[in-house]
């Protein structure tokens, strides 16, 4: 199987799941417990993605300049800084730490 065939099959499968979502009954989707669960799952999946991208490398679990950058990002988000400021400061922090260490 070539790479493009795998991409096309994966795309078709993901799109089919999206279409199947329209078959879910409205009473199920409008249930407040389901809405709360969906919002919590979104946050949990995003946190897992950030954790994997921050701490895992081909060699295994890595603690490098990304950890202080993520921690600083959390502090800046706590103080409600604009997203672009958080990105620039975190990238600068990681870059400076990589240069110094």
Query: What pLDDT digit, counting tens, does each position of 2-58 carry?
Result: 899 999 999 999 999 999 988 989 888 889 999 999 899 999 999 999 889 888 988
Predicted local distance difference test score (pLDDT) of residue 78: 97
Q: Which of 57, 60, 54 is nearest to 73 (CA)?
A: 54
CB 73 within 8 A of CB 90: yes
At residue 64's C-alpha, the angle toward residues 75 and 94, to 5°, is 55
Predicted local distance difference test score (pLDDT) of residue 21: 86
Predicted local distance difference test score (pLDDT) of residue 29: 85
pLDDT at 1 over 90: no
Predicted local distance difference test score (pLDDT) of residue 101: 84
Distances (CA, A) of 101 to 8, 15, 60, 88: 43, 45, 20, 20
pLDDT at 93 over 80: yes
Per residue in 55-74, pLDDT (tens digit) is 898 888 888 899 999 999 99
Q: Is the pTM of this model over 0.75?
A: no
Predicted local distance difference test score (pLDDT) of residue 62: 87
């Amino acid at each position: 199987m070539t790479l493009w065939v795998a991409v096309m099959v994966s795309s078709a499968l993901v799109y089919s799941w999206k279409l199947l979502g329209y078959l879910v009954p409205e009473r199920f989707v409008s249930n407040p417990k389901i809405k709360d669960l969906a919002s919590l799952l979104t946050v949990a999946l995003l946190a897992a993605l950030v954790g994997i991208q921050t701490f895992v490398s081909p060699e295994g679990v890595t603690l490098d300049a990304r950890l202080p950058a993520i921690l600083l990002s959390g502090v800046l988000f706590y103080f409600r800084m604009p997203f672009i400021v958080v990105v620039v400061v975190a990238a600068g922090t990681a870059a400076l730490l990589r240069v110094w260490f």
